[in-house]
A and B are shown apart, each in its own frame.
Chain A
C-alpha cells in the first residue's frame, strides 16, 4: 500500500507552469505585504509630520507660546513620544488644524499649509533639539525666505490663537520689528540652550529688546480685542 501509493502519486505528472503559479502566489502576497508596509510607513510619516507641526506653533505662535516653556516641553521630550504622538498634543494640533480649516476657508487653509511646510522643513533642517532655528547657521537667502513666510503666516497664527492679527494692529514698520523680534527670540533660545535664564550676558540687551517688542504687540492685540 505504502509503496504503491507513493509510486502512483509520483506518477501524477506536474504541468510545466507549476513554478509560474508559485511565483504568482508569492507576487500577490508580496504586493499585499508591500501595501501593509507602505501603509505603516505612511502612518509613521504622518506622525512625524504631525510632530513637527506641533513644534512649529510653540515658537512661531505669538509670544505667549514662546514665554511658556513650550507647549509640549522640550523638543527632545516630544520626539520620544512622537511615534505615538501624545494624545494631548495630537488633539491640540487636530483642533488647531480643524479650527484653521473652519475659520480660514479652503483656499486660505491651503495657503496656510504651504507656508507651514516651509517653516516645518526649515525646522527639520536647521532646528536644534528643541526645534529652535539657529539663524547664524542658515544661509542668508534661506533666512530671507523664512522671514517672508513668517510675514505671511503670523496672521494665521494670530487667528488660531484667537487674537487680533498682528499685521493689522501694527504699522508695517512695527510688524517688521515684530517678526525680527520673534526670530531674535528664537536665536537667543538656541544660544541659551532653550533656557533664557542662561542667556549669555552679551545677548541680554538684545533679549530685552525683543521681549519689549513682543509685550508691545501683545498689548496692541489685546487692546483691539476689547
Chain B
C-alpha cells in the first residue's frame, strides 16, 4: 500500500516522502484544527505544529496503517493546547475587536458548524469530529482519546444534546 510505503520511508527520516504523505492529510488537519481555534492563522499554526511533531516522532509509529488516526490525535492535542495557550493571553475587548474587524476573511460557516464551534467544549468537539467526520466507532474514539468507553459515550451524548440534533443517532454508534 502506498501510504505504508511512504510511512516506512519517512521513518528513515526521508522528509520528501513524509511531505508527500502529509500533503494528503493537511486539509483535514487544517479543518479539524479550525473547529477548535476558529481562525485561519491559528489553524495554520496547528498544521505547522502537527507537521513538526509528526515528522519528529514518526519513528515511534508502530503500525503505518494508523498514520491518519495518529495524525488526527496529534492535531486535536495541538489545537487544544493552542486554545489553552490563547486563553492565557489577555483578550481584546469585544468592542475593540469589532472596531479592528475580522481581516482573516474566513468563510461564512453554516450555522450548525458555527454552532458546534461556539457551543461545544474541546473534548466534545474531539468526540464529535472523530465520530461524524472521521467515522470512528465509540470504542475507537475511547482508544484514540485514551478515555474509558463510558466517558466517550457520555461526552458524545452531552455534545449531541447541546447541538439539539438527532438525539436518536447517538445510540446507534457503538
Whether the pair A5, B128 counts as a contact (CB closer than 8 A) is: yes
Q: How far is A13 from B105 in the complex, measured between Cα atoms in Å?
A: 11
Residue A107, interface by CB 8 Å: no
**Which residues of chain B from 12 to 49 have any CB-CB distance to chain A below 8 Å in the complex?**
13, 15, 18-19, 22-23, 26-27, 30-32, 34-35, 40, 44-45, 47-49
Whether the pair B112, A5 counts as a contact (CB closer than 8 A) is: yes
Whether the pair B56, A32 counts as a contact (CB closer than 8 A) is: yes
Whether the pair A9, B19 counts as a contact (CB closer than 8 A) is: no
Whether the pair B22, A9 counts as a contact (CB closer than 8 A) is: no
**Which residues of chain B from 86 to 119 have any CB-CB distance to chain A below 8 Å in the complex?**
107, 109-110, 112-113, 116
Partner of B165, one of A1, A8, A17, A33: A1
Partner of A8, one of B18, B47, B56, B110: B110
Q: How far is A6 from B31 in the complex, measured between Cα atoms in Å?
A: 10
Residue A87, interface by CB 8 Å: no
Q: How far is A25 from B26 in the complex, measured between Cα atoms in Å?
A: 12
Give B106 Cβ to nearest chain A Cβ, in Å: 8
Whether the pair A8, B112 counts as a contact (CB closer than 8 A) is: yes
Give B108 Cβ to nearest chain A Cβ, in Å: 9
Whether the pair A22, B19 counts as a contact (CB closer than 8 A) is: yes
Q: How far is A21 from B41 in the complex, measured between Cα atoms in Å?
A: 11
Residues of B within 8 Å of A, CB-based: how many?
A: 41
Q: A9-B31, A9-B35, A11-B110 are in contact. Are A26 and B44 (CB under 8 A)?
A: no
Whether the pair A28, B165 counts as a contact (CB closer than 8 A) is: no
- For A7, give the chain B residue with the smallest CB separation: B110
Whether the pair A19, B23 counts as a contact (CB closer than 8 A) is: yes
Residue A68, interface by CB 8 Å: no
Whether the pair A5, B133 counts as a contact (CB closer than 8 A) is: yes
Whether the pair A12, B112 counts as a contact (CB closer than 8 A) is: no
- With a cutoff of 8 Å between Cβ atoms, the chain B residues found around residue A223 in the complex are none
Whether the pair A15, B40 counts as a contact (CB closer than 8 A) is: yes
Whether the pair A5, B113 counts as a contact (CB closer than 8 A) is: yes
- With a cutoff of 8 Å between Cβ atoms, the chain A residues found around residue B49 in the complex are 25
Q: How far is A2 from B110 in the complex, measured between Cα atoms in Å?
A: 15
- With a cutoff of 8 Å between Cβ atoms, the chain B residues found around residue A140 in the complex are none
**Which residues of chain A from 16 to 53 have any CB-CB distance to chain B below 8 Å in the complex?**
17-19, 21-30, 32-33
- With a cutoff of 8 Å between Cβ atoms, the chain B residues found around residue A26 in the complex are 15, 18-19, 22, 51-52, 55
Q: How far is A12 from B26 in the complex, measured between Cα atoms in Å?
A: 13
Residue B146, interface by CB 8 Å: no
Residue A10, interface by CB 8 Å: yes
- With a cutoff of 8 Å between Cβ atoms, the chain A residues found around residue B56 in the complex are 29, 32-33
> Given A2-B169, A11-B109, A29-B52, 15 other A-B contacts at CB below 8 A?
A5-B112, A5-B116, A6-B133, A12-B107, A18-B30, A21-B44, A22-B22, A22-B48, A22-B51, A25-B55, A26-B52, A26-B55, A29-B51, A29-B55, A32-B56
Q: Which residues of A contact B (CB under 8 A)?
A: 1-2, 4-6, 8-15, 17-19, 21-30, 32-33
Q: Which residues of B contact A (CB under 8 A)?
A: 13, 15, 18-19, 22-23, 26-27, 30-32, 34-35, 40, 44-45, 47-53, 55-56, 107, 109-110, 112-113, 116, 128-129, 132-133, 135, 160, 163, 165-166, 169
Closest 3 CB pairs of A and B: A25-B51, A25-B52, A8-B113
